[in-house]
A and B are shown apart, each in its own frame.
Chain A
Amino acid sequence: MGVHLPYSPKWYWPVEGFSGVPEVDRYFDRKNIFSRFLKTSRQFLRLNDVIMESVEKGGRYSFDLSGPLLEQCEWDPELLESFRELRESGSVEFTGSCSYHSLSSLYPDLSWFQEEICIYSEMLRELLGVTPETFVNTELLHTESVGSMLAEMGFRCLIAEGSRNLLNGYEPVHVFENNLPTLLRHINLSEDLELRFSEKEWESFPLISEKFADWIASMDGDVLTLYFNYTNLCVHYRNQSTIADFIRTLPGALKVRGIEMLTPFEAVKRFVPLRLPTLETEQTIRYGMHNAVGNHAQQLYLRELVRVGEELSRLKESKNYWKLKQVFGYLQQSEILFSMNSENIRDGYEKAVNYFSILSDFRRAVLEEEA
């Protein structure tokens, strides 16, 4: 389950920039982020309690907590404590990820990506006392070029999106062979929980755990990977749907059908990986990323991130390097790219103009630091 709350950029005016080393607050509205966090963190807490009940009934889960979320947890230590309790249950795995929820795995130079992973693993060790063994890239992106790097960094399992072009007709019901043993998300079943659960018009509404377990029982294969956004579960929960009952009763419903719940790392240890030829092609990106980098604005922003990243990495000895690096981290959040999506061009491009203005002030600060 992915748990993430991004830092959203504010509506910035150039007059706020053009001088000095920027603080995070110059580009991000922390007051707004704080109040949103307070609202959401209470919901996360209640849902964590439900997960705990499910764990006590035999459930096993893994969490992909984003870097920005972990940072925000300092505003609500109780939430962090609740994740610690889940860890102590022994039935919950915590995965590694990019600390700024960025798309840095797409940059030509992977050093930012590598650094983000290290920062994140360090954060996880410090806050929860765990060392991640499974890696989940931002947006479940799969990039062939990073596989061997992740293996060298000590990861032993990868979870990626089970997109059709990757699966090429296979069902995502095995561990697949790659630089890292790979689990591919089952999109339909994941989205049943993530998106359709509260939809009264949906033919399978209301979804109860027995029905869901029946579907899984009818499938062949070794292991099925479900991944969904925790925030969406909160939405179902808020709508007073039956999601809490579903989660509580799922372990029992699976068990009577002879299905075991596993964490990702347990799955790759148990099953023999199956060869999936499409994973081995030379293409860099296999997951349809047009929502993130499909239009002119998004490509320009990504390209500018790469350029400013190169400039910033030459300033490691500089006085303000760490301060700049932190802001750069937030500017790389994938949400910024996604929100420029032009399916609603007005909304997306008005934001893009704002983001370009922000990024150009940041780059100004980096170039001035070079002097």
Chain B
Amino acid sequence: MTSVCMYFQLHQPFRLRRFWPDDRSGFYRYFDERSNREIFERVARKCYIPTNKVLLDSIDEHGGKFRFSLSVTGTLLEQCELWGTEVLEGFRQMAETGAVEFLDETFYHSLSSLYENKTEFIEEIKEHRELMFDLLGVKPQVFRNTKLLYNNTIAKIASDLGYRAILTEGADHMLEGRSPNLLYRAKGSGLPIIFRNYKLSDDIGYRFSARWWEGYPLTAEKWALWASGVKEDCVNIFMDYETFGEHQWEETGIFAFLQKLHGEVLKNNLSFSTPLEIVEKYSPVAEIDVGDFSTISWADMERDTSAWLGNDMQRRCFEETKLLEPFVRKTGDPQILRIWKHLLTSDHYYYMCTKWLGDGDVHSYFSVYSTPFDAAVNFMAVVMDFKAQVFRKLSAIA
């Protein structure tokens, strides 16, 4: 029986305020308390709370048969603690059902996996692991990196940290004709890899309400029938949690679709499995080799790192924050360290992306800035001020 492996991504960054070097101090000198709170509350109302409810109801309805996994970033969990305990309560209930597997990732949804020095990357995974245990009482066994960024080295680190599988994008240029519906293993570490079936995932996440699409309108019956066409091991459906209620508004019928989905899937003789169950059930069929300079991700058409490091503004900002690391650590100041870590969040770099054709509308949808140039100038202004703070501190303790 083919398994449907569903995983939903949940994340909110701490967005920067429009920076001006005034008298504010601490975390909110750089980060915008009000707009982050407003965005969080809006998304909680439109997506997190109703989707949690639909999914919890579905689990109740089918006993243990409806199963899925969630990956929640540390930055979102921090926001839940600050502004949305109801959302956090929903996650706790899910953890208690035993039908939901939580995954680990970088605490800050950061690009630290792209640093040559992996200290920060490993530290962030450990921070996330701790938070998951503290808040939800779970110990994740499967790893997914920020935006599914993947290469052999990332897999090796996940393997060394004890994870039993890693998730990534089923990018065509890497699969080269092989099926994403089977389990593979990473070159070097041998860690099992679960690939996203982007066609069936995007049918829901991206195309659900697209009138130009021949599949419109998408019903749970139709989608389950397509999924049942897969005769291999697993159909891996990865998408943003915000698909439900935020990217696809309630008026599109997305919640009704979600309510019916599990029933239709089960009717079509498919079963649900979480990522850990997938690696227990199936065996890798071949080795996958992705070098450090061919890193893949689930972003944009290119499915590489170009959404964050595609232009010189992004590369300058990335290089600045990367090179700051040893100095930030040397200050020994927990607040400085916390601010720095939040500057590594991938969203800041995503806002600076200038690949307007095709993906531009997606980028601008997610951005609070009017142009990627504003985003870059604002970020670098923050870096300029923060860097002075770091070196002032170091001078003082020298």
Q: Using CB atoms and an 8 Å cutoff, list the residues of chain A in contact with chain B.
A: 11, 13-15, 18, 296-297, 300, 303-304, 307, 342, 345-346, 348-350, 352-354, 356-357, 359-360, 363-364, 367-368, 370-371
- Assuming the contacts A14-B319, A14-B323, A18-B323, asked whether A296 and B313 have C-beta atoms less than 8 A apart, the reply is no
A13 touches B391 (CB 8 A): no
Q: Is B376 an interface residue (CB 8 A)?
A: yes
Q: Could you name 24 residue pairs across A and B whose Cβ atoms are closer than 8 Å?
A: A14-B319, A14-B323, A18-B327, A296-B374, A300-B19, A300-B20, A342-B373, A345-B371, A346-B354, A349-B371, A349-B373, A349-B374, A350-B312, A353-B317, A353-B380, A356-B384, A357-B384, A360-B320, A360-B384, A360-B387, A364-B391, A367-B391, A371-B394, A371-B398
Q: Is B381 an interface residue (CB 8 A)?
A: yes
Lowest 9 CB-CB distances: which A-B pairs, in order?
Answer: A349-B373, A371-B398, A371-B395, A360-B384, A367-B391, A356-B380, A14-B319, A297-B377, A353-B313
Task: Tell me what chain A mostly uses at the interface: helix, strand, loop, or mixed.
Answer: helix
Q: Is B21 an interface residue (CB 8 A)?
A: yes
User: How far is it, in angstroms, between the C-alpha of A168 and the C-alpha of B313 when the chains are bound?
Assistant: 43
Chain B contacts for A346, CB-based, 8 A = 354, 373
Task: Tell me what chain B mostly uses at the interface: helix, strand, loop, or mixed.
Answer: helix
B323 touches A357 (CB 8 A): no
- Chain B interface residue count, Cβ-Cβ cutoff 8 angstroms: 30
- Assuming the contacts A18-B323, A296-B18, A350-B313, asked whether A359 and B378 have C-beta atoms less than 8 A apart, the reply is no
B391 touches A345 (CB 8 A): no
Interface core residue of B21, B377, B378, B395 (most chain A CB under 10 Å):
B377
A364 touches B388 (CB 8 A): yes
Chain B contacts for A364, CB-based, 8 A = 387-388, 391
B319 touches A356 (CB 8 A): no
- Assuming the contacts A14-B319, A14-B320, A14-B323, asked whether A356 and B377 have C-beta atoms less than 8 A apart, the reply is yes
Chain A contacts for B327, CB-based, 8 A = 18
B384 touches A353 (CB 8 A): no
Task: Give the number of residue pairs across the A-B interface with Cβ within 8 Å.
Answer: 94
Q: Which residue of B lies closest to A298 (CB)?
A: B377
Interface string of B363-388 (1 = CB under 8 A from A): 00000000101101110110110011
Partner of A13, one of B319, B371, B376: B319
B117 to chain A, nearest CB (A): 14
Q: Is B392 an interface residue (CB 8 A)?
A: yes
Q: Which residue of A lies closest to B21 (CB)?
A: A303
Partner of B316, one of A303, A353, A367: A353
- Assuming the contacts A14-B320, A296-B377, A303-B21, asked whether A356 and B383 have C-beta atoms less than 8 A apart, the reply is yes
User: How far is it, in angstroms, between the C-alpha of A304 and the C-alpha of B389 when the chains are bound?
Assistant: 13
**In the complex, chain B residues 199-242 whose Cβ is within 8 Å of any chain A Cβ:** none
A367 touches B323 (CB 8 A): no
Chain B contacts for A342, CB-based, 8 A = 373
Q: Which residue of B lies closest to A303 (CB)?
A: B21
- Assuming the contacts A18-B323, A345-B373, A357-B316, asked whether A368 and B395 have C-beta atoms less than 8 A apart, the reply is yes
User: How far is it, in angstroms, between the C-alpha of A195 and the C-alpha of B398 when the chains are bound?
Assistant: 55
Q: Which residue of A lies closest to B376 (CB)?
A: A353
